Structure 1
Amino acid sequence: MSKFGWLLGIVVLAASFDVGPVVGADPEYDVVVYGATPGGIAAAVAAGKAGQSVLLVEPTARVGGLVTSGLSHTDFHSLESLSGAFLDFANRVQSFYVQTYGADSPQVQACFHGTFGEPKVNLAVFHDLLEEQASVKVVRQHRLASLAVSDLAERKHIDSATFVDPQGDVLAVRGRVFIDGSYEGDLMAMAGVAWRAGREAAAEHGESLAPDTADQQLQAYNFRFIMTRDESNRVTPVAPPGYRREDFVGVLKALQSNQIQHVFDYPSKCIFKAQTPALPGGKYDINDVSRSLVRLSLPGKNLGWPDGDQKERQAIFDEHLRDQVGLLYFLQNDPEVPGKFQQEASEWGWCRDEFLESNHLPPQLYVREARRMQGVYVYAQADSEYATEGTRAVFHKDSIAMADYGNNCHGTAHEGLRFGGKHTGEFYNPVPPYQIPYGVLLPKDVDNLLVPVAASSSHVGFCALRLEPIWMSLGQAAGHAAALAVQADHPVQQVNVSDLQRQLHADGSATIYVSDVLPDSTDFVAVQWWAAAGGLQHVYPDGEPRKPRGPKLHGQYCEAAPGHAAGLDLPLDADLERRWIDLAATIGVPATALPEGNGKITRGEFIRAAAKARKTAKN
């Protein structure tokens, strides 16, 4: 099959990844990943690239999580925040459009550097990524059934996992390191790791965005429909199972207010947020409208999801589908809907060439938040806020990923009527680009488990981590950490973070935001190493304005965040040179290996010389 042969039969390509049950002794893998979400895929690929044997187990029929189930309008703010696994993925999506339609085509422009891919294209790219790793095996439609866990003196160790397919066939495997890539943290919870669902009290982590008292409220879910107005590719929606007209008549009053001016629009005064610009092929990623009179997200209806069994989760899935598809069907067909709204709604439908196996509807619900591990480091609101001084966020020397999105919550409860009330617990908090420390991946007492998706965090902290590019960075870090743990034969908690950062930088993944030295730069590895040591802290003068985002490009997308450039071509002033010489000494770079400044060298020349000296010393 050609690289993009999925166009001839996507189901055939997906099936090519399955491996049947193994007869005889339980097979053993260096790394076992549960959940082929983007984070799980990134973990599997990274471990495979590091030379490990990997089994990636996905409970559903489709890999890719939400990125192949409707979330095609990727959440980030600046392109400079993208690196590593997600950047590789996005570049491949863009390459598909270039190869298929031409470099100057509307499709290439619409894909926005590969970050706005159609679900079917995203799926094909994930398949390509997995196929390239000969040591990575993928099993779909196998749910986690049980774990064998040894209780050692002061820790636990996962020995094996058992998975079951829809026919009841069992696959049992042993693994040296396990990675939980699921949105729900199912493997983590089964291993007995501490977790939470719900919100902490503000005082627990000192979070201004948290409530006064702890509760069980959970960020709301909705579907990310993929829709079109293109008649040649449009499928007319039908009433969902269990549809009842009386559930939706309340929206008629909302339509009479000035707060709803369109059924589909962006970013507000509408019912269905059609993310702009459109995806290639004239498709739209549909989302919940923040702070609107009518919402798609249903807080309170998802409380049973995190720890629910398959039956309970299916019931929640069905309720969300009935509500959101039912609302659209009502708007398109009910005789009491005002003509202008009904006409507009009727122009929209599902995409004929997407989600063929699930009647053109996304096969997964957007699980924004479920279980959250309570691990070695609990990521909280302060971790993505400004440090006391300077233009950067709080510095984490053990950072293994970075991002720039900010704390974002679509609401955790609802007051008033279904149509016309309001969500509570909602916030959208702009912050500077931030780092994520290794401890968020680590349970406290299981020595061979990493958790990059249901990562260790508070509710507010998780609202800054819960974006797919970030989960892919965390997954990539988990994959490389697993490989280092296997190679050294020691617990994941004992992985040398400097070695892990070195592997990540070599793999194109940034651990700190540097707006002018990106992964395709020959200086990327050296600058990331120097920045990880603290070299780019306070390089801007005291009193420099703090601006978390650059000038707007469109929608939520912006130019690079100000105050985060390395400025490699700038002269190295005397004060910064003194600080950098002192820093070099603390990380084993002798002063004799550094060039004399005297205002005659640049920052870049100093950093390159320091990196070269360090490399020579290690050899």
Structure 2
Amino acid sequence: MIRKFLAGLFALHFSLFALAQQKKQEYKADIIVYGGTSAGVIAAVQAAKLGKSVLVVSPDQHLGGLSSSGLGFTDTGDKSVIGGLARTFYARVYQHYQKASAWNWQAQTAYGNKGQGTPAMDGNERTMWIFEPHVAEQIMEEMVKENHLKIYRDEWLNRKSGLEMKGGKITRLTTLSGKKFSGKIFIDATYEGDLMAVAKVSYHVGREANSTYSEQWNGVQALVFQHGHHFKNKIDPYRIAGDKNSGLLTGISIEQPGKNGTADNKIQAYCYRMCLTDKPENRMAFPKPDHYNPKDYELLLRVFNSGWNELFDKYDPIPNRKTDTNNHGPFSTDFIGMNYDYPEASYEKRREIIKAHENYQKGLMYFMANDPRMPQQISIKLKNWGLAKDEFKDNGNWPYQLYVREARRMISDFVMTENEVLGKKAVPNPIGMGSYSLDSHNVQRYVTADGFVQNEGDIGVKAPKPYSIAYQSIVPRKQECQNLLVPVCLSASHIAYGSVRMEPVFMILGESAATAAALAIDGGNAVQDIDYNVLKKMLLNQKQHLVLGD
């Protein structure tokens, strides 16, 4: 009897302990933000400012996405349409660099004022658009602390069984660690759109045909050259020059592009935005990657030997003698054609793709600095550069975030297309503005009909003026999900997304999404049914810009 009693008591104790542990793993808030990108942080800040409880579930340890992971030479476009908390962020960058302590590797007077489309530092408006990665992360963390935000880091959505829905609404998401997050409204602020996809919201991966949305610059764009990131000279694609039987050099596809304007399932290339420095005391030599094969860069040698000399053209200056180094030219940091599987891949497969991109790009820099076949004057100059020791210090000075330029894109009741971006069609119910060019990086590298290597997919078409972005483009179709907002993987065609996909715009849309979420909660409405006129008034009060000239 005593033995049975003790066994029962132990079982009861164990059950109560298990229940207590389970409750410790359950969290509730008005708004659940999935993703620690700049859009995610700004959305959470805005939710808190509106008096809503909010939790950020971030797969990443470091907040800010690309804004704090190397993309410091901001793609501003027309900065006059960047308002709200996005402008607050850039104002805080300005405030940071007004301090003498911010200039530890360079005198402020020596920095210059080069920006992309606007001066780096705008003293009249007290904004600064160019910054070091750690400064962006520091400002994001300050905003988190000031608004008492709770961030759950390194928490990954269980994409197989981690989403519960009832009556067309998400009720709870569960992460791989077992944590459960319940909320009234959910915001997917990831670059991949994982929450959106698990909720079975319609989306697209790849390039649509021009005929789909009556566009000109979508789909395959072979032999269309608008940025200069193509082979300007005739370069032989074969391992043994002139010998087709020797096989193609690394990175060249055996496939041919389709007919121009037709659809495919390919996406524009990814890369890392490296933070480099030529300050010897802060410079680390380019490391040899885990898997290095100099044959992978044979095509690059042929490019240099053809007379190409634009290597350092996109070493864009950021403060303290550092750069935001981006892809430039026919063979550069973009790992063309090696990301097609990424949007739909498992976490494990994504890690493999990410590692392959890291190895490729590290190998590229190591090759150019060390291979004896490189033009000597280029290698000598490149050795003046290296990774900045005071950036990404817990990651070997390598950026945290791969530049996922495009992954999934939602298909909603309204799709942003090039027609809206180029001002050919009006936009209903605007919640923010964009202004950047239609901008797609290369999608594939192939052999042309005359037997030479060429890149395809690089498009740059200037938007004639800033354009509005529709509220309906960040909400799913009502029959699919009634309490989800998607400010990053929004409803846009491939080529329109090439303009929308800029970090300031993601911040703008994150703020607008959180404002709409608060409005839906207060009215007990689906996100599709909120009163737009009320939302508009709130956004204008937040100093957002919705149409040109407001």
TM-score range, shorter chain: 0.7 to 0.9
Could you tell me which residue of structure 2 aligns to residue 193 of structure 1?
Answer: 201
Give the match for residue 190 of structure 2: 182
Q: 1:421 to 1:85 in 2, by over 3 A?
A: farther
Q: Given that residues 376 and 439 in structure 1 are in contact (C-alpha distance below 8 angstroms), is that contact kept between their aligned partners in structure 2?
A: yes
* Residues 28, 183 of structure 2: 8 Å contact kept: yes
CA distance in 1, matches of 2:303, 2:346: 36
| Counterpart-to-counterpart distance in 1, 2:369 and 2:447 | 25
Indicate conservation of the 8 Å contact 1:222/1:298, yes or no. yes
Deviations 1:115-166 (A, max 9, x none): 11100000000011111112x31111110114443353xxx110101113xx
Give the match's secondary structure for 1:178.
strand
- The residue aligned with 1:37 is 37
How far has the Cα of 1:78 moved from its partner?
Answer: 2.6
1:536-575 per-residue CA deviation (whole Å, 9 max, x = no partner) reads: xxxxxxxxxxxxxxxxxxxxxxxxxxxxxxxxxxxxxxxx
Change (3 A) 1:323 1:473: same
Among candidates 456, 474, 477, match of residue 424 of structure 1: 456
Of the three residues 397, 400, 403, the one matched with 2:431 is 400
Q: Give the structure 2 partner of residue 336 of structure 1.
A: 373
1:138 aligns with 2:171: no
For residues 355-381 of structure 1, the C-alpha deviation after alignment (integer angstroms, 9 at most, x for no partner) is: 011100111110000000111211111
Amino acid at match of 2:298: V
Q: Which residue of 2 aligns with 1:261?
A: 309
Cα distance in 1 for residues equivalent to 2:110 and 2:59: 33
Distance (Å, rounded) in 2 between the aligned partners of 1:57 and 1:45: 14
After superposition, what is the alpha-carbon deviation per residue over 1:72-120, rounded to whole angstroms, capped at 9, x for unaligned? 1110223213211211100001101113458993388655232111000
* Alpha-carbon distance in 1 for matches of 2:90, 2:356: 33
Cα deviation, residue 288, structure 1: 0.7
2:508 paired residue number: 473
> Are 1:286 and 2:339 counterparts?
no
1:240 paired to 2:289: yes
Structure 2 CA distance for aligned equivalents of residues 367 and 407 of structure 1? 17
Deviations 1:444-471 (A, max 9, x none): 1200000000001111121121111111
Alignment of 1:197-596 (within 5 A): 197-211=205-219, 212-258=261-307, 260-264=308-312, 266=313, 273-275=314-316, 278-289=317-328, 292-387=329-424, 394-416=425-447, 421-431=453-463, 432-444=465-477, 445-514=480-549, 528=550
Contact 1:69/1:363 (<8 A) preserved: yes
Is residue 50–residue 483 contact of structure 1 (8 Å, CA) maintained in 2? yes
Deviations 1:479-517 (A, max 9, x none): 100011111111100111111111111112111232xxx
Please tell me the residue identity of whatever aligns with 1:129: M
Q: 1:331, CA displacement in angstroms?
A: 1.1
Secondary structure, aligned partner of 1:170? coil
Q: What do the CA deviations read for 1:168-209 (whole angstroms, capped 9, x no partner)? A: x32111110000000000000011111110011111100101
Taking only the aligned residue pairs, the percentage that are identical comes to: 31
**Which residue of the partner structure matches residue 164 of structure 2?**
149
Kept in 2, the 8 Å contact 1:106–1:280? The answer is no
Q: Which has the higher contact order (CA 8 A, sep 6+)?
A: 2
> How far is 1:28 from its partner?
1.4
Q: 1:131 to 1:296 in 2, by over 3 A?
A: same
Q: Which of 106, 109, 119 is matched with 1:106 structurally?
A: 109
Rate the CA distance shift 1:223–1:148 in 2: closer, same or farther, 3 A: closer
- Whole-Å separation in 2 of the counterparts to 1:451 and 1:386: 23
Q: Distance in 2 between matches of 1:36 and 1:172?
A: 17
Aligned to 2:241: none
1:120 to 107, 131, 134: 134
- Cα distance in 2 for partners of 1:307, 1:186 equals 9
Contact 2:173-2:182 at 8 Å conserved across structures: yes
Measured at CA, do residues 22 and 352 of structure 1 come closer, stay the same or move farther in structure 2, by a change above 3 Å?
farther
**Structure 1 portions without partners, runs of 5+:** 1-20, 267-272, 388-393, 515-527, 529-619
- Structure 2 CA distance for partners of 1:345 and 1:262, relative to 1, 3 Å: farther
Contact 2:266 2:443 in 1 (8 A): yes
Equivalent in the alignment of 1:163: 175
Q: Is the 8 A contact 2:43 2:511 kept in 1?
A: yes
CA distance in 2, matches of 1:234, 1:84: 37
Would the aligned equivalents of 1:159 and 1:174 in 2 still touch at CA under 8 Å?
Answer: yes
- Tell me the amino acid that sits aligned with residue 146 of structure 2: E
C-alpha distance in 2 between matches for 1:479 and 1:107:
40
Alpha carbons of structure 1 residues 148 and 311: separation in structure 2 relative to 1, 3 Å: closer
**Alignment coverage as a number of residue pairs:** 467
Is the 8 Å Cα contact of residues 98 and 108 (structure 1) preserved in structure 2? no
| CA root-mean-square deviation | 1.9
Summarize the Cα distance change of 1:246–1:351 in structure 2 as closer, same or farther, 3 Å threshold. Answer: same
- Given that 1:263 and 1:345 are in contact with CA atoms closer than 8 Å, whether structure 2 keeps it comes out as no
String of CA shifts for 1:3-32, please: whole Å, max 9, x gaps. Answer: xxxxxxxxxxxxxxxxxx984473211000
CA distance in 2, matches of 1:507, 1:173: 29
> What's the counterpart of residue 246 of structure 2?
none
Counterpart residue number, 2:6:
none
Residues 1:40 and 1:219: Cα distance change in structure 2 (over 3 Å): same
Q: Distance in 2 between matches of 1:107 and 1:416?
A: 46
- Supply the distance in 1 between the matched residues of 2:387 and 2:352 (Cα, whole angstroms): 23
Distance (Å, rounded) in 1 between the aligned partners of 2:411 and 2:303: 42
Q: Which moved more, 1:313-322 or 1:350-359?
A: 313-322
TM-fit CA distance, 1:345: 1.2
Output the CA distance in 2 between the equivalents of 1:44 and 1:234.
36
> In 2 relative to 1, CA 147–494 (structure 1 residues): closer, same or farther, beyond 3 Å?
farther
Would you say the 8 A contact 2:433–2:467 is kept in 1? yes
Q: What amino acid does structure 1 have at the position aligned with 2:437?
A: G
**C-alpha distance in 2 between matches for 1:361 and 1:24:** 35
**Amino acid in structure 1 at the alignment position of 2:407:** A
Deviation at 1:397, TM superposition (A): 4.1
- Inter-partner Cα distance in structure 2 for 1:336 and 1:239: 17
Paired AA for residue 315 in structure 1: E
**Alpha-carbon distance, 1:300 to partner:** 1.8
One-letter identity of the residue aligned with 2:439: N
Return the TM-score normalized by structure 1. 0.73
Distance 1:329 1:208 in 2: 40
Q: CA deviation at 1:262?
A: 4.7
Give the corresponding residue for 1:610.
Answer: none
Amino acid corresponding to residue 389 of structure 2 in structure 1 = R
Scaled by the length of structure 2, what TM-score is found?
A: 0.82
C-alpha contact (below 8 Å) 2:410/2:490 kept by paired residues: yes
Contact 2:78 2:466 in 1 (8 A): no
2 CA distance for matches of 1:70 and 1:241? 22
